[in-house]
Amino acid sequence: MPHDAYYDYRTNTPDSDLEQIASKPILFKMAVRHTEKRAWELIGWRALEEHFSQPIVQFMQDRANFRDCTIFDTVGNERSAEPQDMGRSNASVERLKVRLK
> pLDDT at residue 12 above 90?
yes
Q: For residue 1, what pLDDT is reported? A: 61
Question: In the predicted model, what is the mean pLDDT of the chain?
Answer: 81
Q: Which 3-state string (H, E, C) describes 5-69?
A: EEECCCCCCCCCCHHHHHCCCEEEEEECCCCCCCCCCCCCCCCCCHHHHCCCEEEEECCCCCCCE
Q: For residue 73, what pLDDT is reported? A: 87
